[in-house]
Amino acid sequence: MFQERSYSFEFFPAKTEAGHEKLLDTARQLAAYKPDFFSCTYGAGGSTRDRTVSTVLQLNDEVQVSTAPHLSCVGDSKAELRQLLNLYKDAGIRRIVALRGDLPSGMGLASGELRYANELVGFIREETGDHFHIEIAAYPEMHPQARNFEADIANFVRKAQAGASSAITQYFFNVDSYFYFVERVRKLGVDIPVVPGIMPITNYSKLARFSDACGAEIPRWVRKQLEAYGDDSDSIRAYGEQVVSEMCERLLQGGAPGLHFYTMNLAGPSLAIWNNLKLSA
C-alpha cells in the first residue's frame, strides 16, 4: 500500500527576543516549502515549558504550519500534563511528540508520576482519545542510556503499542542502522511509520560533541574528512551537505516514509538538502 511521505522541521525555543525573531524568520522561510508539520522541543524537566508553549502556538497560528509540541513526563505531575494537553487541544494542536525527556542535573529518577514514554503515550490516549497524532522517539543506534540493543528495541515496541501514531528517529549517519532497526520492529509487529531524523552538518566540533552525548555515531570516514578540513567552514558545510543529501537519497529510495530535519533554527542547511533531493514545494 502506498503511503504518502511526511516532511517536517524541528526548532528549539529561543532564549532571547532576537533569537525568537530569527526562529520565526526561519520558520516563515521553511513554511514556503509546505512541510507537513513543525515540531518544537521541550527543555530538560520542562525547563522551557512557557517558551515551548508560546512558540508552538505562534508557529501554528501566525506562521500557519501545523506545529507539534514536544511533551515529556519527567518532573511533571499528571495534573500538569493534563493542563498542557487541554491547552493544546483547545488551541487546535493535533500532533504531539511524546518523550520521557531528559533529567535535569540533580533531579532524581523518580521525579514525576510517569517515568517512561510508554506511560506518557498511554496517558495522552486515556485523556484525549484519538485527538492527537502521537509521535514517539526511535533510536536506530540505541538510546545512550539503554542496557543493550534488545532492551531498547523492546522499549520502542512498548511505546508503539501504547498508542503511538508514528515515530521520529534520533539523527544518524549510518543508513544501514536505520533499515536494520525498522526491519527488527516490523518483525515484532510494529507497523507505524518510522521517519528518519536528519541533522545537517555545518560545524564539526559541535556535531562531534553532540553526537558523543546522544549516542549518534559519526562514521570514521566522515570524521576523518571533516577533521581534515580544520577551520575551513565552507568546505565542512559543502562536504556535509553532500554526505547528508546522499544519505537521504538512499533512505527515500529504500522506502523511508519521509524526513524530519533538525534545523537548529537555521533554514539554509536543511533547504540545501531539500533542494538537492528535488522535494516538491
> Which one of the listed residues 10, 119, 135, 141 is annotated catalytic?
10
**226 C-beta neighbours (distance < 10 Å), count:** 21
CA distance 251 to 241: 15
Comparing CA positions, the residue from 177, 176, 199, 208 lying closest to residue 260 is 199
Find the Cα–Cα–Cα–Cα dihedral 138, 142, 228, 238, rounded to 10°.
-10
Partners of 135 in beta bridges: 97, 166
Using 70 as the pLDDT threshold, list the residues of the chain that sit under it. Answer: 1-3, 43-48, 102-112, 281
CA distance 160 to 118: 8
Q: Are 254 and 181 in contact (CB under 8 A)?
A: no
Whether residue 21 lies in the annotated active site:
no
Torsions phi, psi for 143 (to 5 deg): -60, 135
Nine cell digits for residue 85: 494537553
Give the pLDDT score at 280: 73
Give the pLDDT score at 74: 78
**191 C-beta neighbours (distance < 10 Å), count:** 8
Give the pLDDT score at 77: 86
Tens-digit pLDDT profile for residues 50-107: 888 999 999 999 999 999 999 988 778 899 999 999 999 999 999 999 998 766 555 5
CA distance 132 to 128: 7
Partners of 7 in beta bridges: 259
Comparing CA positions, the residue from 120, 198, 217, 118 lying closest to residue 160 is 118
Residue 220 sits at the vertex; the CA angle it makes with 154 and 259, to the nearest 5 degrees, is: 55
Give the pLDDT score at 100: 86
CA distance 178 to 256: 9
CA distance 167 to 150: 18
Residues in the chain: 281
Give the pLDDT score at 219: 95
Tens-digit pLDDT profile for residues 252-270: 999 999 999 999 999 999 9
Comparing CA positions, the residue from 36, 21, 29, 23 lying closest to residue 67 is 36
Give the pLDDT score at 144: 85
Partners of 137 in beta bridges: 168
Give the pLDDT score at 2: 40
Q: In which element (H, E) is residue 151 found?
A: helix 149-161
Give the pLDDT score at 49: 73
Instruction: Give the distance, in angstroms, between the CA of residue 168 and the centroid of all CA atoms in the same chain.
Output: 6
